[in-house]
């Protein structure tokens, strides 16, 4: 039987985190939950921890540079809005690539990317393989907080049929018995969650699939891992 993993905490370690917020059109129905979650995460930071806020729609935008002024960070999150340009696309892969190559490049110590998104990646300059390649070269942990899109009614309809969003194989076998729009939402959400989960684990992070309700446990878990080392 393997020995249990013990965690050793260094509460003096300053953590630097790039918080990436999805403001693309596809996140319209979950943006309020994303912003509440980002604000809750900021409030869990230690006073000396630093963070930056980056938003993305069809392009990547630096909303707030690194700072330990958490009140300012909250204001940056509050200002995040769904893109008014109407341009399609979601730079979900470009945003972490930018954070790794620019925002966090010269940052020392513990650092991480926390990406809050619906998982849709449309019109990116960074390919899926390209992002994987960058992640293999980084010492930065990436944590994904995924907010599946699709109405509550659709999710209830799926559940009534004995299916959940993450039971893709079961859904595929039963797809002819499910209305096409419901099945499409479920499969798209599953594909996004699966890809993002691989990204997170590739660089020592984790992914969380959430509703629009704030999850304290997920964010505490992220910070606990960032302040710990294995022994």
pTM: predicted TM-score of the whole model, two decimal places: 0.76
Topology annotation, domain 13-149+205-225: Rossmann fold (3.40.50)
Using the predicted structure, report yes or no on whether residue 157 has a pLDDT greater than 60: no
CA–CA distance, 113 with 107 (Å, rounded to integer): 12
The predicted-structure confidence for 74-114, as pLDDT tens digits, reads as follows: 999 999 999 776 667 788 889 999 998 888 888 888 899 99
Q: Where are the domains of the chain?
A: 13-149+205-225
The predicted-structure confidence for 158-203, as pLDDT tens digits, reads as follows: 444 444 444 444 444 444 444 444 444 444 545 666 777 787 887 7
Mean pLDDT of 48-58: 94
The pLDDT value recorded for residue 150 is 59
Q: From 124, 138, 19, select the one nearest 77 (Cα to Cα).
A: 19
CA–CA distance, 100 with 106 (Å, rounded to integer): 10
Lowest mean pLDDT among 64-68, 94-98, 123-127, 160-164: 160-164
The pLDDT value recorded for residue 42 is 96
């Amino acid at each position: 039987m393997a020995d249990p993993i013990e965690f050793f905490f260094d509460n003096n370690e300053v953590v630097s985190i790039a918080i990436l917020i999805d403001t693309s059109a596809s996140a319209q129905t979950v943006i309020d939950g994303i912003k509440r979650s980002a604000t809750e995460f900021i409030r869990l930071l230690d006073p000396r921890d630093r963070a930056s806020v980056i938003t993305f729609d069809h392009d990547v935008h630096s909303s707030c540079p690194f700072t330990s002024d958490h009140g300012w960070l909250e204001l940056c999150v509050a200002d995040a809005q769904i893109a008014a340009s109407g341009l399609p696309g979601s730079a979900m892969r470009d945003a972490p690539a930018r954070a790794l190559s620019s925002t966090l490049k010269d940052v020392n110590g513990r650092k991480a990317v926390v990406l809050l998104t619906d998982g849709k990646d449309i019109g990116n300059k960074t390919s899926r393989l390209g992002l994987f390649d960058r992640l293999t070269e980084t010492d930065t942990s990436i944590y994904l907080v995924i907010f599946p899109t699709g109405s509550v009614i659709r999710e209830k309809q799926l559940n009534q049929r004995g299916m959940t969003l993450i039971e893709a194989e079961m859904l595929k076998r039963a797809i002819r018995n499910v209305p096409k729009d419901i099945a499409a939402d479920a499969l798209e959400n599953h594909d996004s969650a699966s890809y993002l989960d691989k990204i997170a684990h590739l660089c020592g992070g984790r992914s969380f699939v959430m509703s629009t309700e704030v999850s304290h446990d997920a964010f505490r878990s992220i910070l606990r891992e960032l302040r710990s080392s294995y022994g």
